[in-house]
Amino acid sequence: MTINADFDVRQTVLAVGAFGPREIDQLRDSVSRDAKKFEELKEAVNELKTKDEDELSPAARVKLGVCMFLVGNYDGALESLKKGDGGALAQFYFAKLHFVRREFDEAIKTYDAAQTAGYNSDDCVLGRAEVYREAEKLDESLRELDSLQGAVEQTAEYLYQRGATINAIGGAPQEAIALYERAVAVDKDHPGALFGLALENERRGNDEEAFELYQRAARRFPASVGVLINLGILYEDHERYELAQQCFQRVLDSYPTNARARLYLKDVQGSSDMRFDEDEVTRQHELGLKLSQPISDFELSVRARKCLSQMGVVTLRDLCKLTEQELLASKNFGETSLDEIKRILHEKNLKLGMFSAEKQRADAVETAQLSEEEKSVLARPVSDLNLSVRARKCMNRLNIQTLGELVSRSADELLEIKNFGVTSLKEIREKLENFNIRLKGE
């Protein structure tokens, strides 16, 4: 179908007039080709939704329900259709809603009702074929497809459904691919066929081709969960975090309880935070190098050097663990030596006492006798923390198996790990708090 660039989405939604499969196809194709048109559709839907109850006829309720379906508001679509006229169009979209909610028996019944009410018979048969396939009733799916004859067999939807069913029963992959390609030749934007081709290309390692096919499929509204999840993962792999978040959020907009999308969204947000925190990681790394610098590298008086040696101060980190009071309390260490030390630290943007808490905790660990309960906690597997995917991968890279092995690492050491950012560090700290333990040096 060729859509005029001047197609008026708002007029189609809000005006009183004919609204059926032709207008729905025009809306779907228009918003798929122009993101601005999709925003227009959402605005028009919101305006229609805010009209008074007595302003909306049963037919207008059906139109609102269908448009809500197109923008992915499935709960709203269902409520609006319930207040509709109960005609063929309403029944057909009831069936689609039951399908996306995986209520397969109800979907079959309402496709039957739509067909009885006069909706296009071929479309209802193709709808039932799809439901049966997803319900893993493949014989019934094939039986529905085999019942179709004539022009419908050359449509993109039929070719896609046939290819997807052949793929589901384990038929020859090349046969399914050929059907998907024929479907795209008929309709270059058919979302199902594009998704099928994307999956086949991804399985064969053709990542660039799969990426492009997923992108094309995602432009259709509503896009399938599989398309958006797979595209989001590819965007994340390419470090295009904002686009990945948009994909996962689109899933959650339609399916708020989708656990996979929620997990992936959290994970990609962690990746995004890590990207924006690269400067922080660099600073942490530079600080670590600076703090490891030995005191012997600096020009100090004999008195100051001797006092520091007696106190076990070897590096700048050791020095920063001490406070002015602790230094001045040392025998033979006076204001002159203190000024020397402060001058050196100032040149390095460091100061006394900045790691005093670290020293106090280290001293406490050294002097405390671990109880059997504490030993039991440290022996627990790190999997007990229920970490996110990204944090778990980092634990695997370090071969960290127990909580004891984890808390023997400092925050600086963890931040040196590839793909481990401030978000993951915060997550680990919060999870360790539940066991009353902390990372090394905290």
Cβ-in-10-Å burial (0-12, 13-18, 19+) of 223 comes to buried
Distances (CA, A) of 171 to 159, 174, 177, 201: 15, 9, 11, 17
Q: What is the largest CA-CA distance in the chain?
A: 103
Distance, C-alpha 253 to centroid of its chain:
12
Summarize the confidence of residues 277-291 as an average pLDDT.
67
Distance CA 239, CA 234 (A): 9
Sign for the CA dihedral angle at 95, 38, 26, 150 comes to negative
Query: In this predicted model, what pLDDT tens digit does every residue of 35-61 receive, in sequence order?
Result: 889 889 999 999 999 888 788 999 999
Which phi and psi (to 5°) does residue 3 adopt?
Answer: -105, 130
For 354-365, letters b (16+ CB in 10 Å) and e give: ebeebbeeeeee
> Using an 8 Å Cβ cutoff, are 64 and 49 in contact?
yes
- Determine the 3-state secondary structure of 205 from DSSP: coil
Question: What is the percent of the chain where pLDDT is above 70?
Answer: 89
* Best CA proximity match to 419, nearest among 236, 290, 286, 211: 236
| pLDDT at residue 303, rounded to an integer | 83
* Residues ≥6 apart with Cβ < 8 Å to 185: none
| pLDDT at residue 284, rounded to an integer | 67
Distance CA 254, CA 188 (A): 25
Distance CA 272, CA 233 (A): 13
Distance, C-alpha 355 to centroid of its chain:
37
Query: In this predicted model, what pLDDT tens digit does every residue of 61-104 receive, in sequence order?
Result: 999 999 999 999 999 999 999 999 999 999 999 999 999 999 99
Distances (CA, A) of 228 to 41, 147, 205, 278: 20, 32, 19, 28
Q: What are the tokens at 296?
A: 């012997």
| pLDDT at residue 215, rounded to an integer | 94
Question: What is the percent of the chain where pLDDT is above 90?
Answer: 47
Summarize the confidence of residues 141-150 as an average pLDDT.
97
Distance CA 397, CA 264 (A): 20
- Determine the 3-state secondary structure of 440 from DSSP: strand
Amino acid at 326: E
Sign for the CA dihedral angle at 265, 266, 270, 271 comes to negative
> Using an 8 Å Cβ cutoff, are 160 and 133 in contact?
no
Distances (CA, A) of 21 to 66, 104, 123, 155: 10, 23, 11, 15
Q: Has residue 314 got a pLDDT over 90?
A: no
Q: Which CATH number is correct for 378-433, 1.10.3720.10, 1.10.150.20, 3.40.630.30, 1.10.1200.10?
A: 1.10.150.20
Q: Which CATH number is correct for 294-357, 3.40.50.1370, 3.60.9.10, 1.10.760.10, 1.10.150.20?
A: 1.10.150.20
* Best CA proximity match to 104, nearest among 83, 129, 86: 129
DSSP secondary structure letters along 53-100 = GGG--HHHHHHHHHHHHHTT-HHHHHHHHHTS---HHHHHHHHHHHHH
Q: Has residue 438 got a pLDDT over 90?
A: no
Sign for the CA dihedral angle at 195, 197, 201, 206 comes to negative
Q: Average model confidence (pLDDT) for the chain?
A: 86
Distance CA 118, CA 133 (A): 24
Hey, where are the domains in the chain?
A: 1-85, 294-357, 378-433
Amino acid at 394: C
| pLDDT at residue 360, rounded to an integer | 52
What pTM value is reported for the model? 0.62
- Among 118-127, 256-265, 395-404, the least confident range: 395-404
Amino acid at 440: K
* Best CA proximity match to 264, nearest among 243, 278, 282, 281: 243
- Determine the 3-state secondary structure of 438 from DSSP: coil
Distance, C-alpha 10 to centroid of its chain:
32
